[in-house]
Amino acid sequence: MFNKERLAKMKDGALIVNVARGPIIETEALIAELNSGRIYAALDVTDPEPLPAGHPLWKAKNLLLVPHIGGNSTAFEPRGRKLVESQLKLLAEGKPLNNIVAVG
C-alpha cells in the first residue's frame, strides 16, 4: 500500500499510476502530495469509487483521472509481442534497447 510514508519517499517529479484497486493508495496522503506539486498521478481507480461530487481528488493538481476504463484489448497481445521481438532483436545485435528507464 502506498501510504503517507511511502509516497513521501518518491522522487520529486515521479509519476504513480494505479489501474488495479483504489485502496492501494491512501487517498488523503496522495491528495496532499499532489497538491504540493511534488509528484504526479494517473488513476483509473479511486477510493472511494465511484468518486463522489465535490471530492478533493476532482480538484487535485498533477492528476490524470479516468473513469475506470482501463482493461485488456485484443490489440495488446500482437503489439506486445512485436515490442518484445524488436527488443530481443536489438539485444542480440548489441544495440541500445527502447523504453529504458534509468535508475537514479
pLDDT of res. 80 = 85
pLDDT tens readout for residues 15-27:
999 999 999 999 9
Q: At 17, is the secondary structure helix, strand, or coil?
A: strand
Sheet of 15-18, strands arranged across:
15-18, 40-43, 63-65
pLDDT of residue 103: 63
Catalytic site residue from 26, 55, 68, 77: 68
What's the CATH code, domain 4-71? 3.40.50.720
pLDDT tens digits for 15-61? 999 999 999 999 999 999 999 999 999 999 999 999 999 999 999 99
Among the listed residues 5, 6, 49, 55, the single catalytic one is 49
Q: Domain boundaries in the chain? A: 4-71, 73-104
Among this protein's residues, is 28 annotated catalytic? no
Is residue 104's pLDDT more than 70?
no
Q: Would you call 21 a catalytic residue per the annotation? A: yes
Asked if 38 is an active-site residue, the reply is no
What number is the average pLDDT over the span 11-17? 96
Q: Give me the catalytic one of 21, 77, 81, 85.
A: 21
Please report how many Cα atoms fall inside a 13 Å half-sphere around the Cα of residue 51, on the Cβ side.
19
